[in-house]
Amino acid sequence: MAKTKDIREAVERKLRHDPLVDTADVAVRNIAGTVALTGTVPGYPQYLEAARAARRAAGVTDVHNHLQVVLPPGDRRDDATLTNAANNELAGSASVPEGVKASARDGNVTLTGTVRYRSQRTAAESAVSGLTGVRNVQDQIQVAFEVDYARLKGLVVDALDRCGLPHTAVAVDIRGTTAMLAGLVRTQDERDAVVGAAWLAPDVMAVVDEIKITG
């Protein structure tokens, strides 16, 4: 197992070499593969990308993103302007159904409404995440229907195939609209790929991740 210093340095390298992240005020802490990111970044897309980059580092089993978004003065928008911009993006997205709405307060965008598929909820998040003036996105969108087990299992199997893992590496169970995942994978990236695939299944509202990383 990689030493604490080795994992921290691996995460720092991933962040430093990621052109989408300004690491000037980002600090990394690691305890037994659980990494915490602290400090500030100048935009919400960098907040998201920093966590993704950290997860790609060898030895990382979990990432806690405590970064704060501190917008440059020129990127700040008042609540009404940002609310209008966010709702325009939602209305203009072919992947986001009618009824999904946004409101903004001090750079924090809240999404509400009901969609049929988890992928539509994800599309709404993506539509507003890159807007100038966004400091955070709180997704309160509800997903309405039951989960199609066959579709979910197929998505997980496809993810296992892409990772070069056997189809039996992860067991899938459904409880209402919750996907239950358990099994063994080798890396955090493989775990993220399987969990991400489960979230893509229509009508999944929650994923319980009990997958273990063997290293």
Which tokens in the block code for residue 12? Answer: 């720092």
pTM of the model: 0.69
- How far does CA 187 lie from the centroid of its chain? 17
Q: What pLDDT was estimated at residue 144?
A: 75
Q: What pLDDT was estimated at residue 146?
A: 67
Taking alpha carbons only, the member of 191, 175, 198, 162 closest to residue 183 is 191
DSSP state, residue 150: H
Q: What is the CATH number of domain 75-143?
A: 3.30.1340.30
Pick the CATH number of 149-213 from 3.30.1360.120, 3.40.50.10440, 3.90.1150.10, 3.30.1340.30: 3.30.1340.30
Q: What pLDDT was estimated at residue 15?
A: 95
- Which residue ranges in the chain fall short of pLDDT 50? 1
Pick the CATH number of 4-69 from 3.30.40.10, 3.90.230.10, 3.30.1340.30, 3.20.20.140: 3.30.1340.30
Long-range contacts of 49-54 (CB under 8 A, 24+ apart): 49/18, 49/20, 49/21, 50/15, 50/18, 50/21, 50/26, 53/11, 53/14, 53/15, 53/18, 53/21, 54/11, 54/14, 54/15, 54/28
Q: What pLDDT was estimated at residue 174?
A: 86
Specify the residue for token string 């897309």. 45
Q: What pLDDT was estimated at residue 108?
A: 97
- pLDDT above 90 covers what percent of the chain? 73
What are the residue ranges of CATH 3.30.1340.30 in the chain?
4-69, 75-143, 149-213
Which tokens in the block code for residue 58? Answer: 């060898």
Q: From CA 95, how far away is CA 97, in angstroms rounded?
A: 7
Which tokens in the block code for residue 99? Answer: 């009824």
Q: What pLDDT was estimated at residue 53?
A: 94
Q: What pLDDT was estimated at residue 1?
A: 46
